[in-house]
Amino acid sequence: MLRTVSQRLTLWYSLLFAILALAAFLFVYVQLAAGLDRQTDERLQAKAREFARTYRTRGAQGLKIEFATEANGAGKRRVFFRLVGPDGGLRAASDERAWKNLVASLAQHPVRNMQIETRHIPGRESAVRLLSKRLNDGSVLQIATTIEENQDLLEDYRETFSTAFFILLACGGLGAYFISRRAMAGVRQVTAAAASIAAGHLDQPLPPGNHRGAEIEDLAAAFATMQRRIAALIAELTTVIDNVAHDLRMPITRIRGMAETTLSGENNLAAFRDMAVAVIEESDRLVAMVNTILELAQIDAGTLPLPDEVVDLAQVVREAAELFLPAGEDRGIDLQWQVPTEPLFIRGDVRGMQRVVANLLDNAVKYTPAGGRVDLQVSASADEVTLMVSDSGVGIDEDAMRHVFDRFYRGDASRSTPGSGLGLSLARAIVTAHHGRITVTSQPNMGSRFLVALPRITPPAG
Ligand code: ADP
């Protein structure tokens, strides 16, 4: 029944409201009742002092007259006075007729110095307040008065409060319901938007809110961010799938083309042999590409545990440079390297580092025309080892520089050179997995410079 937050809020708010209203009522009621009692008692005491004075000055007879006057003035049913002598004999009293029951009960009532009490008398609807006072000569003065007005007043108060209480509770409950519904309106909006995202409407923006409150705005903002992120991921996924499909189709088409040409051509063994060799080469390239794609995905997802080896980056770079020297020479490129003789250690995967260096070197050689130059440099600070690969090649323009590390990105000028557009993204994934950074600076037609910085570790003992 109390399924929604609004309903629960309304219930709690109304309960709290009712408890507070009741507490306030009780407080005022108790104060009011005590105040009324005090007032009555003060009046009784003043009257008692007045009568005692009269008794002293004018005796019982004077008191009798005053009792009658006072009783007539105030109403014989409303007040009653009497004076009882020390011997128990009645000395003076106002009209007793309306007070017989009280008088009967007073007989067995011992009186100390002075006392005030409330009495319920049979035959009377409302209680009476009774003052009894022992005077100096031992006689007892008694004054009774109805407290009907006080009780009527308190009853009025109770009735007024109970009516007001239900009206207030109804208004408060309704108010609480509307306020909480309004507060939850933003949540409902965001929920509807989330449901719409879940239904696949990723491009639908969240409806702008008006005064929904900071919490709801934060929630909406978090949803909007999530929505953008999902949209971006899906877009990236679509691009990657497009590129993979495209890049796989080309070699497969080539393989098919070769097979077709061979079949329709001269039927000799040499032609079939050539085709087989070409098919194997294409297949190897395909497999390498698929492996790189898988590896990239695994590194990005963090599912591939990074080997925890101590790697001497200086040695890795030296070996790579020596490996690439012949290729550079073949293309008329001057390959130079400056690598310290002492080992520079990092922690991670030797094979991964070899691939990073090989990819950077391969690109440098690939994108540098004959007569150009490629430089390799390794240096170290206290906590970082830095590798720099620079070339005097074709360079990269500003726009392309933003994308060179993206998967499958290939510069316009690179279409003629073989490659998959995966080398730099793999290099970046490996470097990032090693807690390092890879950056590029370049100027078109002047050359490019790639920098890789990795956390250095102190040489292991031994
Ligand atoms: P690939 O070399 O297979 O095309 P990469 O991911 O290694 O893929 O490089 C992405 C793109 O970055 C290349 O297509 C090329 O346009 C550009 N690039 C990378 N290295 C260099 C470089 N040293 N000089 C000029 N352009 C480069």
Which domains does the chain show, CATH number per domain?
Answer: 5-154 (3.30.450.20), 214-301 (1.10.287.130), 309-455 (3.30.565.10)
**Is 395 buried (19+), middle (13-18) or exposed (0-12) by CB count in 10 A?**
buried
How many angstroms is it from 367 CA to the middle of ligand 1?
7
Q: 131-164: string of b/e by CB count within 10 Å (b at 16+)?
A: bbbbbeeebbbbbbbbbeebeeeeeeeeeebeee
For the beta sheet containing 140-146, the strands, ordered from the edge strand earlier in sequence to the opposite edge, are 90-93, 79-84, 140-146, 128-134, 114-119
Instruction: Tell whether ligand 1 has an atom less than 6 A from the beta carbon of residue 449.
Output: no
Phi, psi of 364 (to 5 degrees): -60, -45
pTM beyond 0.75: the answer is no
Instruction: Tell whether ligand 1 has an atom less than 6 A from the beta carbon of residue 363.
Output: yes
**The token pair that represents 122 in the structure block:** 């049979």
Which candidate, 370, 376, 351, 380, places its Cα nearest to that of 450? 376
- For every residue of 69-126, DSSP letters joined together read HHHHHH-TTTEEEEEE-TTS-EEEES--GGGHHHHHHHTT----SEEEEEE--TT-SS
Beta strands per DSSP E along 266-372:
309-312, 334-338, 345-348
How many angstroms is it from 325 CA to the middle of ligand 1?
20
Which letter does DSSP use for residue 454 in this model?
E
Instruction: Tell whether ligand 1 has an atom less than 6 A from the beta carbon of residue 172.
Output: no
144-164 pLDDT tens trace: 999 988 989 999 999 999 999
Instruction: Tell whether ligand 1 has an atom less than 6 A from the beta carbon of residue 239.
Output: no
Amino acid at 384: E
The pLDDT tens digits along the chain (462 residues) read 678 888 888 899 999 999 999 999 999 999 999 999 999 999 999 999 999 999 999 999 999 999 999 999 989 889 999 999 888 888 999 988 888 888 877 766 667 788 999 988 888 888 899 999 999 888 999 999 999 889 899 999 999 999 999 998 999 899 989 988 888 888 888 888 888 888 888 777 777 766 677 888 888 888 888 888 888 888 878 887 888 888 788 889 999 999 999 999 888 888 899 999 999 999 998 898 888 888 888 887 777 778 889 999 999 999 999 999 999 999 999 999 999 999 999 999 999 999 999 999 999 999 999 999 999 999 999 999 999 999 999 999 999 999 999 888 888 777 777 777 889 999 999 999 999 999 999 999 999 999 999 999 987 665
User: Taking the CB of residue 320, how many other CB atoms lie within 10 A of it?
Assistant: 24
Instruction: Tell whether ligand 1 has an atom less than 6 A from the beta carbon of residue 444.
Output: no
Instruction: Tell whether ligand 1 has an atom less than 6 A from the beta carbon of residue 9.
Output: no
